[in-house]
Chains A and B, each alone.
Chain A
Amino acid sequence: MDEPRVAPATTLRSRFAGVAGAIRYARIVTVFYRTSIQAEMEYRADFFARVLASLLGLLTTIGSLSIAYSYTDNLKGWTFSEAMVLLSVYYLMDGLIEMLIGPNMRQITSQVREGTLDFVLLKPLDAQFMASFRSLNVWRAASAVIGLGLSVYSIGRLSIGAGLLQAVSFAATLAAGLTIIYSFWLFLVTLTFWFVRVDNIEQIVWQAFEAGRYPVEIYPRWLQGTLTYAIPVAFVITVPARALAGRLTGMTVLVALILAACMLALVTLFWRVGLRNYTGASA
């Protein structure tokens, strides 16, 4: 047998490692999610109660918007229908975040507190990957679906035609938004490596997120800036809403995707620093 030539063989091997690695990680995510769903099925009865609770929250906001709009037909340039689009995108985003990201972030926090993060570190698997994909809150999919349905309905009421381009940019900006929120939340969670007792720091995110139900322009200028750049709530909700309405340039979508990628890279670095601190590695 000929000796394999070194250069192409290694690139071929590393490429297969890449694909095989990706396949392995995909399999692992599937198993994690399946296990999560199984665990949730144990509490089947709570499913409807939770969906109901979630719906009630949505109806409260719709109600309060209706009351405000009974006295005026626009709030800072947003009509009722437009505000409804924003609210439905908020609801969709909230559902997705609570389904995919929330349970994992909270689990990391409690694992750090109880010392069970060790088990994650003992596995032959990237710790950030395992901690981020471990759990899935399946019932939230109902919120996401309702939000999606409401978004499409509200857009329809605005008599804006919906096309493939809009759908694609909507999906892209949603994905970017999710990545941005994930990065921000993981950043806060990583802080608990140093400040274990401030584990409700995620409340800051939620307090800010609440504000995203309404158009960001109703807030004072300085707050608008905070909600767009510092805690990127407005960005994450307004941008997909605009994409859905077809009022977004391709440039902005690209910016959103690049921003998401940068934040992800930064938080991954920060996580590694936090982990080194957790295991007592000197800086």
Chain B
Amino acid sequence: MRYWLRVYRVHLRVAWALMMQYRFSTLIWAVWGFVGPLISLAVWTAATQARGSGVSGNGQRFDQADFAAYFLVFMIFGHLTMSWDAFEFAYRVRTGSLSPQLLRPLHPIHADASFNVGFKALTTALLLPAWLVLFVVLHPAPPPSYANVALAAPALVLAGITRYIWQYALAAIAFWTTRVDAINQLYYVLDSFLAGRIAPIALMPLWLGLLARYTPFYGMGAFPVEIALGRVSLPAAALGLISQMFWLAAGIVVFRLVWAAGVKQYSAVGA
């Protein structure tokens, strides 16, 4: 156990030094997360204004302030659960920089995970003022009770880890093919619709919403957001948490299988 603590601590230190060197680049990457949610908010705000009243679907109602709350929380939660290794990996495989990492008696995921955590810690601190400004400017509707936000925490943590594991499994596909662009894009499309990124799930066609709940995407995206906004009943939340844990376990299994097969393939071709 102490070993793992030391490993993560030293990697965090390296991550810190790296980010200090590339301060502005890091900031620019961090700001990327703002764009999607804000654009979606603008679209739905325009829709609300055109209707003159709120938008309802599947028993849930959203007016302008509700949309602001939804997308703002989605932005923040999305930032806290983001991962980019799927993109990095193809580059590493192509340039051969993966090989030295495979030679170490430590799975590369740990170095990447600690960098991920370090990045989030630093950028969250930097973005906090910006988020506060957005809260003031956008007038989001407050949740029925702030206890909801606290209750969202376990869901958020599960979402983050699950997302990381599935993304890393996806990244491992780079062992077989360089055509990861299409695969990543497919993931992005599924994520956009099934995780409630472009619109709250309740407002999507019924079949889409139903489908979403049977995929890991819902748990990785909209679920913690909906808990924080008090839009999920207690039984539904419990069910959602169980679902999240299932997908986490499934993710770990898939990841181990894909990784093992991938490494075998990689060394067969000549790392």
Contact = CB atoms under 8 A, between A and B. Distances in A.
Do A and B truly interact? yes
Interface of A: 43, 45-46, 49-50, 52-54, 56-57, 59-60, 63-65, 67-76, 195, 197-201, 203-204, 207, 210-211, 213-214, 217-220
B245 interface: no
B36 interface: yes
B177 to A, nearest CB: 8
Given A43-B178, A56-B186, A57-B185, A64 B31 contact: no
Contacts of B32: 203, 207
Interface stretch (B45-53, B81-89, B105-113, B157-165): B45-53
B261 to A, nearest CB: 21
Contact of A197 (B21, B185, B205): B21
Contacts of B141: none
Given A53-B185, A67-B199, A218-B42, A207 B35 contact: yes
Interface string B39-72: 1101111110111000101000000000000000
B24 to A, nearest CB: 5
Given A49-B181, A76-B46, 8 more contacts: A50-B181, A63-B193, A64-B40, A64-B43, A72-B50, A204-B28, A214-B43, A218-B42
Contact of A75 (B47, B182, B198): B47
Nearest to A66: B205
Contacts of B47: 68-69, 71-72, 75
B148 to A, nearest CB: 26
A60 B178 contact: no
Contact of B181 (A53, A63, A72): A53
Closest 8 CB pairs of A and B: A53-B185, A49-B179, A49-B182, A64-B198, A72-B50, A218-B46, A75-B46, A53-B182
Contacts of B34: 207
A43 B90 CA distance: 14
B184 A53 contact: yes
B181 A46 contact: yes
B188 A60 contact: yes
Contacts of A76: 46, 49-50
A60 to B, nearest CB: 5
A43 B36 CA distance: 31
A142 B199 CA distance: 29
Contacts of B44: 68
A200 B29 contact: yes
B7 interface: no
11 contacts: A52-B182, A57-B188, A60-B193, A64-B199, A67-B203, A75-B46, A75-B50, A76-B50, A200-B25, A200-B28, A218-B43
B207 interface: no
A153 B45 CA distance: 28
Most chain A beta carbons < 10 A, residue from B28, B45, B47: B47
Nearest to A63: B193
B209 to A, nearest CB: 11
A198 B188 CA distance: 27
B3 interface: no
B232 interface: no
Contacts of B51: 71-72
